[in-house]
Structure 1
Amino acid sequence: MTMKVRAAILISLLTVVPVRAEDGSPLARVDGDAITASDVEVATRLLGDIDQKDAQANQQGVIDALIELKVVSKAALAEGLDDDPAFRAEMQFLKERALRALYLRKAIERNVTDDAIRTAYDRQVGGLKPVPEVRIRHILVATRMDAMHIIDGVKHGQRAFETEAQKSLDEVTKSNGGDLGFLAEDQIPVEFATAIANARIGDVIAAPVQTPFGYHVLKLESRRSRPVPTLDQATPKIRHALESAAGVEAVSVLKAKASIEVLNARPSPSAAESDTD
């Protein structure tokens, strides 16, 4: 994002967000008006896409954008543009949007606590057991004869399985030796599961497996049990899910309490079509 675009975003957003000017010493001044660390913090949060790899460079970029913001907004005020009806309408919208974001953020903070995350973990994850997984390599060919030729060559040591995989019709896995990665048993085709049921690690299955896609030469690479995620591992996903649910619930409760009228609403395309039938 260019600095001019960043400044444009700041002009539309920072004007409706209160800034705590007392937080820290001024980082810059424009006609005597201070730009503080708090200003930079708010701007960074609202701009969202700023790369955090180089914090110091990013801070200077935000300060530059804030300087441009103040210079341009002062010029706009001097011309009385703050009285423009379009500006006032946009500011009202931005104010309501900022208030909505703040309200939902506080609602989420009240509901998504460490205890809530722990409870959700115990309910959703705590009772799970380790999941058996298998790692399979496969080579997909068009005919049974092609499959048997590959199996014979690999079993007799004439060719490596990974080399033969380059002949596979599966464009996704042919370049990595036919590796399908680790899959839970319920994620693999029933035909595969049956074929490898009694196989040992490293076995190339003696008979090709037929599916609607063709004939598969299979090799059992390894087995493992995928452990149940710990609370720390599961927390980010649980937190995200709880935050989404808390936001939706907060809005639903407020809408249920409000008196809402939708006036002069246009009918949906499906409704309009049904009226003409």
Structure 2
Amino acid sequence: MVNRVFRAALLSMAACGLALAAPVAANAQNPAPAASTPAAAAQSTPAQATPADPVVARVNGEEIHRSDVQRMVSQLPPQVQQMPLEMIFPAVVEQLVNSKLVASAGYKANLAGSPEVKDEIKRAEERAVQRAYIQKEVQARITPAKLEEAYKDYLKQNPAQEEVKASHILVEKEDEAKAIIAELNKGGDFAKIAKEKSKDPVAAQQGGDLGYFTKETMVEPFADAAFAMKKGEISKEPVKTQFGWHVIKVEDKRTQPQPALDEVKPQLEQQLSKEIVTTVVDDLRKDAKVETYQLDGSPMPKEEPKADAPKAEEPKKK
């Protein structure tokens, strides 16, 4: 099944031209295949292959490196990328060899200078320049001061919350819960009773322990009761929710610590990056002459001026 998914992905890439795009783009400005030039021939010698990026195949003297394999794998679907490289390596190399052969045939057919190839190269170059410019602007504008300001805003928008650490015993009937409360008031062991009688199997294994939680993470009646209780207190009356009847014991209360800057830095950088990109584009549009047309190339229809709303008539003076 996995092999079928992988081979289908490779065939899809080849059909869409994705598998061939990397070899063509890499050599598009050369008048002939790389192996036909002295420089390329020199690069094809084993002495030039570094251990960090070894040669994994040669096609008519032109090298395919491990980095080429990794680049192709990065274009495959996530489920294929998760497979061990050793398993998919032969099929990837086979596809890369095919790509080199097709690219070489295209060069021999003098297609490197065709309008279609030149247009595709230009578009690829534009995308690369766009990414480089945006990256440069983002790096220049995300300063330590900007990050600190964004961090302060984050803390204001996400204030520290109160947390409760509680345990509970869940039963089906109110009378059962009242009997458990009476038993606890006589010195019964909460954790022991929870393991024996609670209908919450996960918490029961921990003696009823639910750990720390904020108010909004629990159903309302349970949360209201737990946050109204004091540390060490056991609920005087059972608490009813849609799950049944609860006996609650509050183990501890604390204020949830706010995250340090380093903990939220990636999130803040992503947020700032989006804002910067929007600002960069808006600034560029301000100084640009932008003309847009309809789908058929005809001028856009002029917007009719909005008519002013009729003024209310003033009452006539008597």
Give the TM bin, normalised by the shorter chain. Answer: 0.5 to 0.7
Match in the other structure for 2:61: 32
**AA of the residue aligned to 2:271:** A
Match in the other structure for 1:246: 276
What is the aligned counterpart of 1:183 among 203, 209, 213?
A: 213
Question: What is the distance in 2 between the residues matched to 1:114 and 1:51?
Answer: 36
SS at match of 2:212: strand
Q: Deviations over 1:234-276 (max 9, x none)?
A: 21221222223333433444455462536249xxxxxxxxxxx
Mapped contact 2:160–2:258 kept (Cα < 8 A): yes
Rg larger in structure:
2
Displacement of 1:231: 2.2
SS at match of 2:259: coil
User: Is the deviation greater in 236-245 or in 154-163?
Assistant: 154-163
Displacement of 1:207: 1.1
Question: What is the distance in 1 between the residues matched to 2:138 and 2:88?
Answer: 28
1:160 aligns with 2:193: yes
Structure 1 unaligned blocks of 5 or more: 266-277
Match in the other structure for 1:275: none
Mapped contact 2:194–2:207 kept (Cα < 8 A): yes
Displacement of 1:35: 4.4
Written as runs of structure 1 = structure 2, the 5 A alignment for 1:98-137 is: 98-125=128-155, 130-137=160-167
What is the aligned counterpart of 2:259 among 229, 235, 240?
A: 229
Displacement of 1:162: 4.1
**AA of the residue aligned to 1:263:** Q
1:12 aligns with 2:41: no
User: Is the deviation greater in 218-227 or in 27-36?
Assistant: 27-36
Aligned residue pairs total 258
**AA of the residue aligned to 1:197:** A
**AA of the residue aligned to 1:245:** E
Displacement of 1:16: 4.4
Tell me how large the CA RMSD over aligned residues is. Answer: 5.0
SS at match of 2:234: coil
Mapped contact 2:215–2:223 kept (Cα < 8 A): no
Match in the other structure for 2:31: none
Mapped contact 1:51–1:58 kept (Cα < 8 A): no
**AA of the residue aligned to 1:160:** I
**AA of the residue aligned to 2:214:** A
Normalising by structure 2, we get a TM-score of: 0.56
Match in the other structure for 1:199: 230
Among all aligned residue pairs of Structure 1 and Structure 2, give the percentage whose two residues are the same amino acid: 24
* CA distance 1:42–1:198, shift in 2 (3 Å): same
What is the aligned counterpart of 2:100 among 70, 78, 82?
A: 70
Match in the other structure for 2:6: 2
Match in the other structure for 2:303: none
* CA distance 1:128–1:91, shift in 2 (3 Å): closer
SS at match of 1:69: helix
Question: What is the distance in 1 between the residues matched to 2:111 and 2:202?
Answer: 58
Displacement of 1:4: 7.2
SS at match of 2:235: coil
Structure 2 unaligned blocks of 5 or more: 29-39, 297-318
Q: Deviations over 1:76-112 (max 9, x none)?
A: 5556777899878776665554444344333322323
* CA distance 1:244–1:145, shift in 2 (3 Å): farther
Question: What is the distance in 2 between the residues matched to 1:86 and 1:177?
Answer: 71
Normalising by structure 1, we get a TM-score of: 0.62
